[in-house]
Amino acid sequence: MFSSPGKPRPHYRVLRDHLQTMTAEMFAERRRVADAAFLYQGITFTVYGQEQGIERIFPFDLVPRIIPRAEWSHIEQGVAQRVQALNLFLHDIYHDQRILREKLIPPELVFSSRHFRREMMGLNVPKDRYVHVVGTDIVRSDDGQYYVLEDNLRSPSGVSYMLENRQVMKRTFADLFGRYDVQPIEHYPQELLNTLRSVAPHEYSDATVVLLTPGIFNSAYFEHTFLARQMGIEIVEGRDLVAHQNKIYMRTTRGLKLVDVIYRRVDDDYLDPLNFRQDSALGVAGLLNAYRAGNVTIANAIGTGVADDKAVYAFTPQMIKFYLGQEPILNNVPTYLGWREKECDHILNNLDKLVVKAVNESGGYGMLVGPHASRDDREKFKEQVRASPRNYIAQPTLALSRHPTLLEDGLSGCHVDLRPYILYGDDVVVVPGGLTRVALRKGSLVVNSSQGGGSKDTWVLRD
- Residue-wise pLDDT for 131-173, tens only, equals 999 999 999 988 889 999 999 998 888 899 999 999 999 989 9
Q: Regarding predicted confidence, which is higher, 359 or 298? A: 298
Whether residue 55 is predicted with pLDDT greater than 70 in this model: the reply is: no
Band (371; pLDDT cuts 50, 70, 90):
confident
Whether residue 10 is predicted with pLDDT greater than 70 in this model: the reply is: yes
Region for residue 239 given its phi and psi (left: phi exceeds 0; alpha: psi -120 to 50; beta: otherwise): alpha
Amino acid at 65: R
Please tell me what DSSP assigns to residue 182: B
Q: Produce one character per residue of 105-126: b if its CB has 16 or more CB atoms within 10 Å, e if not.
A: bbeebbeebebbbebbeebebb
What percent of the chain is predicted at pLDDT more than 90?
A: 68
pLDDT, residue 143, reads 83
Average pLDDT over residues 245-271: 96
Computed over every residue of the chain, the mean pLDDT equals 90
Predicted confidence (pLDDT) per residue in 185-209, tens digit: 999 999 999 999 999 998 767 899 9
Band (369; pLDDT cuts 50, 70, 90):
confident
pTM: 0.91
Predicted confidence (pLDDT) per residue in 288-327, tens digit: 999 999 999 999 999 999 998 999 999 999 999 999 999 9
**Chain center to CA of 74:** 19
Distance CA 93, CA 122 (A): 9
Distance CA 393, CA 414 (A): 25
Whether residue 362 is predicted with pLDDT greater than 80 in this model: the reply is: no
Distance CA 458, CA 405 (A): 13
pLDDT, residue 390, reads 93
Q: Pairing mode, if any, of strands 7-8 and 247-252?
A: unpaired
Is the peptide bond between 300 and the residue preceding it cis, with omega within 30 degrees of 0?
yes
Please, is 83 exposed, middle or buried when counting C-beta atoms within 10 Å of its C-beta (0-12, 13-18, 19+)?
Answer: buried
Long-range contacts (CB closer than 8 Å, 24 or more residues apart) made by 227-234: 227/159, 227/160, 227/189, 227/192, 227/263, 230/163, 230/189, 231/189, 231/190, 231/192, 231/193, 232/193, 233/193, 233/209, 233/263, 234/210
Please, is 39 exposed, middle or buried when counting C-beta atoms within 10 Å of its C-beta (0-12, 13-18, 19+)?
Answer: exposed
Predicted confidence (pLDDT) per residue in 416-443, tens digit: 999 999 999 999 999 999 999 998 777 6
